[in-house]
RNA sequence: GCCCGGGUGGUGAAAUGGUAGACACGAGGGACUUAAAAUCCCUUGGUCCGUAAGGGCUGUGCGGGUUCGAGUCCCGCCCCGGGCACCA
């Protein structure tokens, strides 16, 4: 009779594996559907209940689509290159491949327990040479490509060479140069190109390749011995480990993602992604329209280039500020100012980016002594250096308009520089006016124009004067691609005379070599430099490896054809499976993975390898499941013991006496309900440090009450094991509860229980609040876990995990099971229910009420899955079971379709019941039931009758009645009449099948 | 500062402009049981009146507005979460 989840789930997991139930192949006769989860990095900690949330949701959709006739690709794999395995390798000497293998096995075991419909025959691992062969191959394609801005497309380098050979390179083409890391490239003719030596040619080509090597400002992290990407640096320290990061110029592999800035931006409009992710990407790309303005130097050749979004404020320029790193600083500073200026530059430069960012309030700068010429007025404008201008961004110089920009205003005010009002109605004595809908008021030809018109006019004038032009600037930077690390894809490049060359395709995969240690060499070379024979035909190989995002930028393609040895995936497979129809993962990847993922897809499209240029049409971000930490308060009482003995004073004047401490000090854990009763003033807690908060392991906490005796057995922290736990009416020491030694129990009744406060925060080992899905599954089963995770709330929302609530979904499954077995002959509990527990199903025709429940459920669940509103579908299942239980329904015609609708959510129990209903094939093959609206039609409706919008009573009328008939019937009702008190209603609103509102 | 989310019982939450709190947890009461577990039934936003049946008022962060009717739409604030930021 009982619902034995363990037997059922083990049986079906084995059966699915044996039958290959979830294996999938291209099948042109069926429509395809591609459901993808962001694959996990297999960490040593294993999965906690938060990880599978998205996987369960996508699994439900995958199963639902299968029932609806789609051929569903639903794969899983591992992002198995990464820092933690390498850190572990450095500490222990254990090869990261080994650790990764162990962790993957553990992940697989945990994932299998949850009953996902993954086609494991398609598993990929980014650290597998058969996979990273193609990551390297794509790298070579990028190395062999340049971006033709005129055509808005990546093209082979060979085409560029032809162009150079016949046309050379002209400054007019210079817009092809993108990114922030190139040096100035001069124009050359075809004849010059043909005369260049190999070295020169290769150096020039680096300016065009989409994967390129150049001197770049990088985030160098000395502690990690590596370079970090911009998005791996948070607040000036490394995201992982929190080590300081400094700006350093060094040779660096980069990806020219900036070439795609406009397309990455435009593409967002075509995607069904959450607005917040799209917005984050828009911000990250950071397109701004404005003008490049050149200020001629007064006493030197050349000019200062400035980018501004507000050329309309040019008449408000009172000075120009250069970043301390700006190369002109040295050039223009006159000798008599040199000492002072260079001293400032040195300090400003040495301040880390972190300090400069943290210190917004402090204004610092110095006058160079040089002047430049205002392009419109011809007046002299002083040139300053200020550290509020960053060298790495834009041109590293700003035209300062203190009347229109707050930072410039701060700088001008601090140094007493003139401030000109640029807009009508601005009060420049208090702050700058940054409004973009103002009218220009500064003297000159822009006066009286609205800002947008003034911008256009200003640019026109700049162009006429040759002093500037329209310019679109992107915040997006080229992506650093090399890491001074071992555990990543080797970059398939070798060096001849210091010039990088592509390794021939036939040499791929370039496998990771064995090294004696996973650390940088003594002279700071990356670990790969330790490898013996790390060269190609005598030429040294590249020693940096690829970053984490390389493999994840294209893995979705490999799943389509994971064992192909000839190509990253066959054209047939790609043409069949196309884009990902539903991609599920965390929103923390908004500007990292999800941008590179789109970038590589666009690139592969440009070069003709794939027919689409966006990887995933729909993206859903699951929320985070937070942990609930159990926080215990611990205090060290002092001094009172010396005079009063081991008594703890309470605010009502009484004292409680736990077992006597041997010294004059006592360290106690205090139950949350006792906390407010202790008189901490009298207890003379020396200082705040004597009251501390410690997280207890939530495995020993139930509804806020700690099982202290169990906890001290399983606890590794000594202070927790040996602690004295003060409760309301006694204390617990060494796991034994005792009454207080004096008669001052606050409450002599009841058990001595220790309570903790709960705190919702990130689930993590260090907070002792991790819930392992394996434990939940052992107790309640995977089907219960799946249902409960969905039942917690909307998928995209973050929510705390509370194991206590799981009983509800477990009870639901037991009731569902009972529907099939109520009145069954074998009512006695038996060890295994699988064969001996016959179902009790009849073939009788269902009643109207039963059909209504069934069809309402099919309708609601079908619609909810499409909307990814899983919590409401689970609620509907509960309603159905409660109602069918009350109707004592055990009819096949009702239960059979219900099993199919439940199958995507709780596949194990559904398979078992499906089999019991007499089917020999898997429930996953059953077609999705259709709901029939005719079963949902009601004969009558109970109208809420409201007066002025407030519901007062209910009246039932046939739905066939017209508005007028309902109104008449309502007004004829004696109760309504008495409420009206003889007054005629002002108005009566009847909304059929909804409400009646009487206005009085 | 800017851009996205969000704010509803003790808790997780539900609600095409139409009966706020579905569903579930927890809590309280009861049934069954020698007992426990399991299961089942009832109550459960707040508050007031009533012995009771029942009824009144109030209530979706705050203040306005639109509407016969607002958790939902509009305007102005407050708070929480996430993202971005010396980009000139």
Q: What is the pLDDT of residues A507-522, one digit of tens each?
A: 989 999 999 888 888 7
C1' of B52 to CA of A946 (Å): 27
Distance A978 CA to B54 C1' (A): 17
CA-to-C1' span, A994 to B17 (A):
12
**Residue A179: pLDDT band with limits 50, 70, 90:** very low
Residue A474, C-beta contacts closer than 8 angstroms, at least 6 positions apart: A258, A261, A262, A285, A286, A287, A288
Shortest-distance nucleotide from A986 CA to C1': B68
Average pLDDT, chain A: 84
Mean pLDDT, residues A578-590 taken together: 90
- pLDDT bin (cut points 50, 70, 90) of residue A122 is very high
Residue A821 tokens, joined: 């077995």
Q: Which nucleotide lies closest to A812 by the C1' atom and the CA atom?
A: B24
Average pLDDT over residues A47-64: 94
CA distances from A919 to A4, A658, A915, A924 (A): 20, 66, 5, 12
Nearest Cα neighbor of A352 from A206, A479, A244 is: A244
pLDDT single digits (tens) A849-901? 899 999 999 999 999 999 999 999 999 999 999 999 888 888 999 999 999 99
- The Cα–Cα gap between A200 and A842 comes to 86
Residues A620-672 have pLDDT tens digits of 998 888 888 888 888 776 545 555 555 677 777 677 776 655 444 557 888 87
- Nearest CA to the C1' of B88 belongs to which residue? A398
User: For residue A606, is it left (φ>0), alpha (ψ between -120 and 50) or beta?
Assistant: alpha
Tokens standing for A130? 């058969």
Predicted local confidence at residue A613, as pLDDT: 92
Closest nucleotide to A993, Cα to C1': B18
The Å distance, CA of A885 to C1' of B41, is: 14
Label the pairing between strands A648-649 and A799-800. unpaired
Nucleotide nearest to A363 (CA to C1'): B86
B15 C1' closest Cα residue: A872
Interatomic distance A889 CA / B5 C1' (Å): 44
What value does the mean pLDDT take over residues A718-739? 79
Concatenating the DSSP letter of every residue in A102-132 gives HHHHHHHHHHHHTT----GGG--BTTSHHHH
pLDDT at position A363, please?
77
A835 pLDDT tier (thresholds 50, 70, 90): very low
The token pair that represents A509 in the structure block? 């995969």
Angle (CA) A691-A694-A697 rounded to 5° is 155
Whole-number pLDDT of residue A639 = 47
- Give the residue, A696 or A824, on which the prediction is more confident: A696
- Read off the pLDDT of each residue in A14-34 and give the average, rounded to a whole number: 94
Peptide bond before residue A509 is cis, with ω within 30 degrees of 0: yes
**Closest among A306, A305, A266 to A287, alpha carbons compared:** A266
Give me the helices (H) in A525-586, please. Answer: 549-552, 555-558, 571-577
pLDDT band at A210 (very low <50, low <70, confident <90, very high): very high
- Å separating the CA of residue A407 from the C1' of nucleotide B86: 7
Distance CA A542, CA A480 (A): 15
* A213, A255, A470, A547 from A480: Cα distances, Å: 10, 6, 29, 8
Average pLDDT over residues A89-116: 92
Tens digit of each residue's pLDDT (9 = 90 or more) over A288-302 = 888 888 999 988 888
The nucleotide closest to A275 (CA, C1' atoms) = B4
- Which range has highest mean pLDDT (A316-330, A555-569, A693-707)? A555-569
- Does the pTM of the predicted model rise above 0.80? yes
> A171 pLDDT exceeds 80?
no
More confident residue, A159 or A683: A159
> Which nucleotide's C1' is closest to A877 (Cα)?
B23
What is the nearest nucleotide to A274, using C1' and CA? Answer: B4
CA–C1' gap, A974 and B53, in angstroms: 20
d(CA A121, CA A284): 37
pLDDT-based confidence at A360, cuts 50/70/90?
A: low
**Distance, Å, A435 CA → B75 C1':** 21
Q: Supply the pLDDT for residue A504.
A: 96
CA of A446 to C1' of B88 (A): 20
Give the per-residue pLDDT at A488: 93
Instruction: Output the distance from A960 CA to B56 C1' rounded to whole Å.
Output: 35
**What does DSSP say about strands A211-221 and A754-755: parallel, antiparallel, or unpaired?**
unpaired
Lowest mean pLDDT among A140-144, A279-283, A473-477, A823-827: A823-827
Report the distance separating Cα A599 and Cα A261, nearest Å: 9
Per the structure, the residue whose CA is closest to nucleotide B55 at C1' is A952
Residue closest to sugar C1' of B24 by CA: A808
- Segment A20-31 shows an average pLDDT of 93
Task: Name the nt closest to A878 by C-alpha to C1'.
Answer: B23
Angle between helices A848-867 and A52-67 (to 10 degrees): 120
Determine the distance between A804 (CA) and B26 (C1') in angstroms.
9
Percent of chain A with pLDDT over 90: 38
- Asked if A332 and A299 count as a contact pair (C-beta separation under 8 A), the reply is yes
Are β-strands A319-322 and A380-386 bridged in parallel, bridged antiparallel, or unpaired? parallel
Q: What is the pLDDT of residue A828?
A: 36
Lowest mean pLDDT among A155-164, A481-490, A637-646, A985-994: A637-646
CA-based angle A469:A263:A435, to the nearest 5?
A: 50
| Mean pLDDT of the region A128-155 | 93
Distance from CA(A532) to C1'(B12), angstroms, rounded = 59
The nt closest to A869 (CA vs C1′) is B14
pLDDT at A236: 58
Task: Give the closest nucleotide to A804 (alpha carbon vs C1').
Answer: B25
Position A247 pLDDT exceeds 70: no
- Separation between the CA of A543 and the C1’ of B87 (whole angstroms): 34
Axis crossing angle, helix A806-821 with helix A773-780, rounded to the nearest 10:
30
Q: Which residue is nearest to nucleotide B5 (CA to C1')?
A: A276
pLDDT of residue A204: 87
> What is the nearest nucleotide to A885, using C1' and CA?
B40
- The string of pLDDT tens digits covering residues A946-971 is 888 888 888 888 888 888 888 888 88
Note the pLDDT of residue A176. Answer: 47
Least confident window among A348-352, A398-402, A414-418, A726-730:
A348-352
Per-residue burial over A241-250, b if 16 or more Cβ lie within 10 Å, else e, is eeeebebeee
Q: What is the pLDDT of residue A663?
A: 45
**CA A806 to C1' B44, whole Å:** 20
Q: Which residue is nearest to nucleotide B14 (CA to C1')?
A: A872
pLDDT class for A184, splitting at 50, 70, 90?
low
What is the reported pLDDT for A40?
92
The spacing between the Cα labelled CA in A806 and the C1' in B28, in angstroms, equals 21
Residue A67 is predicted with a pLDDT of: 97
Residue A215 has pLDDT above 80, yes or no: no
Amino acid A933: pLDDT: 87
Outline where DSSP puts E strands in A222-286. Answer: 226-228, 233-234, 237-238, 246-255
Task: Report pLDDT for A186.
Answer: 73
Secondary structure of residue A54 in the 3-state scheme: helix
Place of tokens 């090869």: A95
* Cα Rg of chain A (Å, integer): 36
A407, exposed or middle or buried, with CB in 10 Å at 0-12, 13-18, 19+? middle
pLDDT at A228: 67
Residues A122, A759: Cα–Cα separation, whole Å: 41
Nucleotide closest in space to A389 (CA vs C1'):
B86
Residue A938 CA to B24 C1' — how many Å? 28
Q: What pLDDT does A17 receive?
A: 94
Best mean pLDDT range from A138-152, A313-327, A568-582, A624-638: A568-582
Q: Which nucleotide is nearest to A798 (CA to C1')?
A: B81
CA–C1' A870–B62 (A): 33
- Which nucleotide's C1' atom has the smallest distance to the CA of A882? B23
Do strands A246-255 and A211-221 pair parallel, antiparallel, or not at all (unpaired)? antiparallel
User: What whole-number distance in Å separates Cα of residue A58 and Cα of residue A806?
Assistant: 21
What is the rounded distance in angstroms from the CA atom of residue A893 to the CA atom of residue A851? Answer: 9
Distance A818 CA to B42 C1' (A): 23
Residues constituting chain A: 1000
Q: Which nucleotides of B are covered by protein (CB under 7 A)?
A: 3-5, 11-16, 18-20, 22-27, 38-41, 56-57, 68-70, 81-88
Q: What are phi and psi of A332, to 5 degrees?
A: -90, -20
pLDDT at A812 > cutoff 50: yes
C-alpha to C-alpha distance for A982 and A997, rounded to whole angstroms: 17
B13 closest protein residue (CA to C1'): A793
């Amino acid at each position: 009779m009982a619902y034995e989840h363990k037997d059922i789930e083990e049986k079906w997991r084995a059966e699915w594996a044996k039958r290959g139930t979830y294996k999938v192949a291209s099948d042109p006769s069926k429509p395809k559907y591609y459901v993808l989860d962001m694959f996990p990095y297999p960490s040593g900690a294993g999965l906690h209940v938060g990880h599978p949330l998205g996987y369960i949701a996508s699994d439900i959709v995958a199963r639902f689509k299968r029932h609806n006739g789609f051929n569903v690709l639903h794969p899983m794999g591992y992002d198995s290159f990464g820092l933690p395995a390498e850190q572990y390798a450095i500490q222990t000497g254990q090869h990261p491949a080994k650790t990764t293998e162990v962790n993957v096995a553990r992940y697989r075991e945990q994932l299998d327990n949850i009953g996902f419909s993954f086609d494991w025959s398609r598993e990929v691992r980014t650290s597998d040479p058969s996979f990273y062969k193609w990551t390297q191959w794509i790298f070579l394609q990028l190395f062999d490509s340049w971006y033709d801005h005129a055509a808005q497309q990546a093209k082979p380098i060979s085409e560029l060479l032809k162009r150079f050979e016949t046309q050379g390179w002209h400054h007019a083409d210079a817009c092809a140069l993108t990114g922030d890391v190139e040096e100035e490239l001069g124009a050359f003719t075809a004849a010059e190109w043909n005369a260049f030596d190999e070295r020169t040619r290769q150096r020039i080509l680096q300016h065009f390749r989409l994967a390129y090597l150049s001197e770049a400002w990088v985030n160098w992290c000395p502690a990690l011995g590596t370079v970090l990407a911009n998005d791996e640096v948070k607040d000036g320290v490394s995201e992982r480990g929190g080590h300081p990061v400094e700006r350093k110029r060094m040779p660096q592999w980069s990806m020219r993602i900036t070439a795609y800035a406009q397309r990455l931006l435009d593409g967002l409009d075509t995607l069904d992604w959450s607005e917040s992710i799209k917005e984050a990407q828009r911000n990250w790309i950071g397109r701004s329209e404005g003008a490049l303005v050149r200020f001629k130097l007064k006493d030197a050749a050349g000019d200062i280039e400035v980018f501004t979004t507000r050329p309309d404020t040019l008449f408000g320029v009172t000075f120009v500020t250069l970043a301390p790193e700006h190369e002109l600083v040295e050039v223009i500073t006159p000798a008599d100012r040199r000492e002072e200026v260079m001293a400032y530059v040195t300090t400003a430069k040495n301040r880390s980016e972190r300090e400069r960012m943290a210190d917004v309030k402090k204004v610092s700068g110095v006058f160079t002594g040089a002047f430049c010429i205002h392009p419109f007025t011809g007046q002299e404008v002083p040139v300053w250096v200020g550290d509020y201008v960053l060298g790495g961004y834009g041109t590293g110089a700003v035209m300062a308009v203190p009347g229109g920009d707050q930072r410039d205003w701060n700088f001008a005010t601090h140094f007493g520089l003139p401030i000109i009002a640029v807009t009508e109605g601005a009060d420049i004595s208090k702050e700058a006016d940054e409004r973009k809908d103002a009218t220009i008021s500064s003297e000159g030809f822009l006066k009286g124009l609205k800002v947008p018109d003034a911008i256009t006019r200003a640019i026109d004038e700049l162009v006429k004067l040759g002093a500037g032009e329209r310019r679109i600037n992107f915040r997006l930077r080229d992506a650093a691609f090399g890491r001074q690390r071992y555990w990543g894809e080797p970059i398939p490049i070798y060096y001849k005379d210091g010039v990088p060359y592509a390794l021939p395709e036939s040499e791929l995969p370039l496998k990771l070599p064995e090294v004696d240690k996973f650390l940088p060499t003594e002279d700071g070379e990356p670990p790969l430099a330790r490898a013996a024979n790390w060269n190609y035909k005598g030429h040294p190989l590249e020693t940096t490896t690829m970053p984490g995002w390389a493999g994840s930028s294209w893995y979705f393609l490999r799943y389509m054809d994971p064992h192909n040895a000839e190509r990253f995936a066959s054209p047939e497979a790609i043409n069949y499976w196309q884009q990902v129809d539903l991609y599920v993962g965390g929103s923390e990847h908004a500007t990292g993975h999800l941008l590179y993922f789109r970038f590589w897809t666009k690139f592969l499209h440009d070069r003709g390898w794939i027919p689409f240029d966006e990887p995933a049409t729909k993206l859903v971000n699951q929320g985070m499941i937070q942990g609930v930490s159990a926080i215990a308060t611990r205090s060290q009482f002092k001094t009172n013991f010396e005079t009063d003995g081991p008594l703890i004073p309470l605010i009502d004047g009484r004292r409680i006496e736990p077992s006597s401490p041997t010294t004059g000090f006592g360290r106690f854990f205090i139950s949350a309900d006792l906390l407010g009763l202790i008189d901490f003033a009298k207890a003379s807690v020396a200082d705040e440090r004597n009251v501390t908060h410690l997280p207890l392991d939530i495995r020993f906490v139930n509804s806020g009450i700690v099982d202290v005796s169990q906890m001290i057995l399983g606890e590794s922290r000594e202070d927790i094991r040996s602690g004295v736990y003060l409760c309301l009416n006694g204390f617990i020491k060494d796991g034994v509860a005792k009454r207080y030694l004096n008669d001052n129990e606050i409450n002599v009744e009841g058990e001595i229980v220790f309570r903790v406060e709960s705190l919702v925060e990130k689930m993590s080992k260090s907070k002792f609040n991790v819930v392992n899905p394996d434990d939940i599954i052992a107790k309640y089963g995977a089907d219960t876990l799946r249902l409960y995770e969905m039942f917690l709330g909307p998928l995209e929302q973050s929510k705390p995990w509370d194991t206590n609530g799981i009983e509800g979904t477990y009870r639901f499954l037991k009731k569902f099971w009972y529907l099939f077995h109520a009145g069954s002959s074998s009512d006695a509990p038996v060890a295994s229910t699988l064969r001996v527990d016959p179902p009790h199903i009849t073939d009788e025709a269902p009643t109207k009420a039963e059909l209504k429940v069934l069809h309402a459920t099919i309708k609601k669940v079908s619609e909810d899955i499409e909307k990814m509103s899983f919590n409401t579908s689970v609620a509907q299942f509960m309603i159905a079971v409660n109602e069918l239980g009350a109707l004592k329904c055990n009819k096949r015609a009702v239960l059979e379709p219900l099993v199919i609708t439940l199958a995507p959510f709780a596949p194990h129990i559904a398979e078992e019941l499906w089999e019991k209903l007499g089917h020999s094939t898997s429930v996953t093959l059953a077609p999705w039931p259709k709901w029939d609206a005719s079963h949902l039609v009601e004969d009558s409706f109970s109208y809420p009758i409201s007066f002025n919008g407030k519901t007062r009573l209910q009246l039932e009328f046939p739905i066939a009645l017209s508005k007028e008939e309902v109104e008449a019937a309502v007004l004829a009702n004696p109760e309504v009449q008495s409420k009206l008190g003889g007054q005629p209603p002002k108005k009566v609103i009847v909304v059929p099948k909804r409400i009646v509102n009487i206005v009085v």
